[in-house]
Amino acid sequence: MLTLVPTLVEENRLRLRRVLVERAVRLDAPPGRIAAGIGMRRTGKTCLMIREMQRLVAAGVDETAILFVSFEDDRLTPLDAGGLAALVDAFYATYPQNHGRSCHLFLDEIQCVTDWSRVLRRLLDTRDVRLTVSGSSARMLSREIATELRGRSLSVDVWPYAFEEWMRAGGHDLPVAPHGQATRDGLMGHLRRYLNEGGLPDTVDADLATRQRILRDHLDVVLFRDVVERNGITNLPLVRYLMRTLLASAGRSVSLHKLYNDLQSQGRKVGKDTLHAYLSHFEDAYLVFPVGLHDTAPRRAENAPRKMYAVDTGLLTAARLGTDDLGQRFENLVFLDLRRQGAEVSYYQTRERREVDFLATHLDGRRELVQACWDASDPETRAREQTALDEACAETGLGGRIVTPAGWLDEVSRRVFPEAGAAAMRLQ
């Protein structure tokens, strides 16, 4: 470990020279807490760590007081808690001046280290150190954060690029709302591209063939490393079939009971408990997100079909699912937008069995009903969406809104330029 530490620090110097896209989220936490970034592979967790390191160096922190380690580095695998402790001890032994100053450790893909939380808790208690970790497993990190690191961490979900980040990464400026017709038409063109290409950082501005290869390879890596290998799954054809089925169902309801019967009719032998476990594994890997029905009766809510959403709309294209339904993709986008804002999301069904896409509970406790509608120009579509929303608002006593692409683009612009939005409100 002693011989490896100087190499790791030198590699950090190269990372610090990278020019990075500014993200809307930061991986930082108050003193005494661990910042934990959780998300699917290749969504930018490492780049967020590098950006924090750049801020530290710009603020005058010595580069030798900063250590970045990826635990998927072949020079370090496999590593257990003892190996992690030895690596940190080697860092301090290599740079003895670190004993008398605050240090910063950035530990990437920490879930690869068994019992990592015990070591980090000890470091918090015995050293002047700021810790930032990342992981590609929601379940593993959340379990340890909820038990051994209770009250000592701050978790941050790291998603693929939001639309405004994707625009910035592609060299496009997001204009301030309100938008004129020419500007709106241009933004709609970018939005269609974003819905089809997705927001994974590696794919920005890649040509079609390259982007498809990157996304398909990414799906394979998530499937094999974060689902199959991590959970000891042996039935690869079944888990691949399930992945494609869940992605194809983005924005639609999936009944595991019906899926179980379909698999039985195809001669695929699988138990219901196994299906539930596989779905949980995909959710842990941040690939798909099941959204449950909002119902005051827990049993009805538990037994109702769940709606599925993908972590990135570009993956729908990569999986060759044959879906070019922009309405489906736009609903998926609105879901991701709500989750990026920290909202808890369910869907709502009225007594007349009309559906509202989302019942969102925001961080400030505010609750609202949200209906996503890609094309509100069709009178029948608009009336159908409005009727369901009106019924749901009457039954729940909540406010509601229909989100269209034009309205959504204005909303994004107001979030990016809050001063301009406030000025526009004062003029009204």
pLDDT of residue 175: 87
pLDDT of residue 194: 96
Percent helix, strand, coil in the chain, to 5, is 50, 15, 30
Residue 25 and residue 4: Cα distance in Å, rounded? 31
Q: What is the pTM of this model?
A: 0.92
Domain annotation for the chain: domains and CATH numbers: 4-158 (3.40.50.300), 164-416 (no CATH)
279 neighbors 290 (Cβ within 8 angstroms): yes
Beta bridge partners of 20: none
For the chain, how big is the Rg over CA atoms in Å?
23
pLDDT of residue 151: 79
Residue 226 and residue 296: Cα distance in Å, rounded? 34
pLDDT of residue 419: 60
pLDDT of residue 428: 36
CA dihedral 218, 223, 224, 225 (to 10 degrees): 80
Residue 146 and residue 140: Cα distance in Å, rounded? 10
Cis, peptide link before residue 418, omega less than 30° from 0 = no
CB atoms within 10 A of CB 75: 10
Q: Which three-class secondary structure state does DSSP give residue 31?
A: coil
Roughly what angle, to the nearest 10 degrees, separates helices 256-265 and 236-248? Answer: 130
Residue 385 and residue 363: Cα distance in Å, rounded? 26
Residue 56 and residue 50: Cα distance in Å, rounded? 10
| CA-wise closest residue to 228 among 270, 276, 282, 290 | 282
pLDDT in tens, the chain (428 residues): 778 999 999 998 999 999 999 999 999 888 889 999 999 999 999 999 999 999 999 999 999 999 999 999 999 988 999 999 999 999 999 999 999 999 999 999 998 998 999 999 999 999 999 999 999 887 777 777 767 777 788 889 999 999 999 999 999 988 887 778 899 899 999 999 999 999 999 999 899 899 999 999 999 999 999 999 989 999 999 999 999 999 989 899 999 999 999 999 998 888 999 999 999 999 999 999 999 999 888 888 888 999 999 999 999 877 665 457 899 999 999 999 999 999 999 999 999 999 999 999 999 999 999 999 999 888 999 999 999 999 999 999 999 999 999 999 999 999 988 864 444 433 33
Element (H, E) at 67: strand 66-70
